[in-house]
Structure 1
Amino acid sequence: MASLLEINELSKVYADGTAALKNVSFSVAPGEFIAIIGPSGAGKSTLLRCINRLVKPSGGAIRFRDIDAAAASRRQVRLLRRQTGMIFQGYNLIQRVTVLRNVLHGRLGYMNAVSGSLGLFSRKDVADAKAILHRLGLTEQMFKRADELSGGQQQRVGIARALSQKPQLILADEPIASLDPVASRTIMEHLSGICREDGITCIVNLHQVAMARDYATRIIGIHKGEVVFDGRPGELSEETIHRIYGAAPDWREQGGESLARA
């Protein structure tokens, strides 16, 4: 099967000299649900942001279908982002507008500038957004403002917004880092379940080793900007986890649930 995404010798060095990524290479097949694990500062967020060009790589190649993301033109970057839904740790919702309107913003990449600025969404877009919210258990919240929702509910809105793009690839950057254990499980159940049912490929950054083992079809471990593990969850040994996390706190803390309050 042809790869959906190919990353070859990707590197990123920031202006202050920090080498966030060092010769990262891997391919992603359609339908995979990949968890990227590693300590804070390992380069996980930089990797996702290079894929959709929120960050420009310093070297290497990123090929998404027929687009070379590392060298993409402005028009190609727009096309790339249209096909790659992004889910953020901080939700990135517009707090003062409704849940439904936030989800519809996922359609802006398909609209012209005038329609988009005026919020002239089609009836089909509205119907599809409502169906996605129903699927995520948010029917009763769709006309509430985003700031009226709990953290877990807001992250489900973030998932719904990404799904409204009808993406081939979803990039989720620490989507459960600020959530309590129950909300974290709910988010991972929704995200992994919908991606599996709809055949959407997903790459998700996680701190929690246990979550990666429970939900991913494949795990990539990053340490100091380099890939040090790439395999199935069952192949992830305690020794490998220590190599990924290095001098970070005991990996068992990473394997437990997030203790942050929702």
Structure 2
Amino acid sequence: MALLQVEGLKKVYADGTVGLSGIDFEVKAGEFIAVIGPSGAGKSTLLRCLNQMVEPTGGSIVFQGAQTIGSGRRKLRNIRREMSMIFQGFNLFERVSVLTNVLHGRLGYMSSWRGALGLFLKDDVAEARRLLERVGLREQMHKRADELSGGQQQRVGIARALAQKPKLILADEPIASLDPAASETVMSSLHRFCSEDGIACLCNLHQVDMAKKYASRIIGIHKGQKVFDGTPDELTDEMIRLIYNQKPAEAQELAETDMARKETA
């Protein structure tokens, strides 16, 4: 059984803008999947529909065998703690310590009053320290988050996501605001930790070279449609041009031709 099954996923905003138009795909446990496409293609909408930060208009999302669309508050809380998210803008509490930011990954497992008072278990604190050492930030754990560089802040975001003990990580443009060196560090860290811990990852990327380097599978999206789904080796230069040159119909036709060719091979 797939870890995540998405069928006919749609999102139409109140002003009539179509964010997603009937997207289908599955994610297996441990897969590292890059989602590529031009700005405005629907990549961020896709990830936010999966964890219900954005409410889908239609379709089906099944995570670990359970339908997520229409979930009540308690069920959605349980889903989100096993489907952690890494944000482009880091989304850290800048004026609190790095260690406390990582500990916020445990809030989904705590009662609301304990979380509000910051009464974290000793085991959780020990695990947060271990995770910060793992991402190379042990010496910075007591600094305020806003004292760190962008690349360091994103590594805090990775540690926070890992603190949730997720089955799936949703990474929304995690290196978009970073320089090349920091981007490489963040991507290699995210890929390594997901591999070591058996965590699946859906990672939105603008950088096709990074997608081909780290992903075992790549999904191409254009204007809310899935126009490619295959291995990095199958992502040809022609397909890349079609994904980014605003020709989704041609990209879809080429993808279907490639699929038919593989089925008859």
TM-score, normalised via structure 2 length = 0.92
Q: Which one-letter code corresponds to 1:218 in the other structure?
A: R
Say whether 1:185 aligns with 2:216. no
Contact 1:89 1:175 in 2 (8 A): yes
Matches within 5 A, 1:1-262: 2-247=1-246
SS in 2 for 1:161: helix
Counterparts of 1:68 and 1:74, CA distance in 2: 14
CA contact (8 A) 2:151 2:178 kept: yes
CA distance in 2, matches of 1:129, 1:75: 25
User: Whole-Å Cα distance in 1 between the matches of residues 108 and 188 of structure 2?
Assistant: 27
Q: Which runs of 5+ in 2 are unaligned?
A: 248-265
Deviations 1:180-239 (A, max 9, x none): 000000000000000001100000000000000000000000010000000000000011
User: Which amino acid is the alignment partner of residue 43 of structure 2?
Assistant: K
| TM-score between the two structures when normalised by the length of structure 1 | 0.93
Query: Which range moved further: 206-215 or 60-69?
Result: 60-69
Deviation at 1:247, TM superposition (A): 4.4
Structure 2 letter corresponding to 1:24: I
Distance 1:97 1:195 in 2: 27
2:260 equivalent in structure 1: none
Output the CA distance in 1 between the equivalents of 2:238 and 2:21: 22
Q: Give me the identity figure in percent.
A: 63
Cα distance, 1:70 vs structure 2: 1.8
Answer whether contact 2:83 2:169 (CA < 8 A) is retained.
yes
Contact 2:33/2:216, CA 8 A, preserved across alignment: yes
Amino acid of the structure 2 residue aligned with 1:219: I
Point out where structure 1 has 5 or more consecutive residues left out of the alignment.
249-262
Contact kept, 8 Å, 2:222 with 2:246, in 1: the verdict is no
Which residue does the alignment assign to 1:256? none
The total of aligned residue pairs comes to 247
Task: Give the distance between the partners of 1:134 and 1:113, measured in 2 at CA.
Answer: 28
Separation in 1, partners of 2:103, 2:111? 14
Deviations 1:107-149 (A, max 9, x none): 0010001111000001100000000000000000000000000
SS at match of 1:79: helix
| Cα distance per residue 1:152-184 (max 9 Å; x no partner) | 000000000000000000000000000000000
**2:3–2:65 Cα contact (<8 Å) kept:** no
Q: Residues of 2 paired with 1:110 and 1:49: CA distance?
A: 21
Distance in 2 of aligned mates of 1:243 and 1:7: 24
**Where does residue 252 of structure 2 map in the other structure?**
none
Counterpart residue identity of residue 160, structure 2: R
Please tell me the residue identity of whatever aligns with 1:228: V
CA distance in 2, matches of 1:68, 1:161: 26
Determine the C-alpha separation between the residues in 2 that align with 1:181 and 1:139: 23
Distance 1:91 1:175 in 2: 8
Per-residue CA distance 1:7-48 (angstroms, 9 max, x = gap): 000000000100010010001110000000000000000000
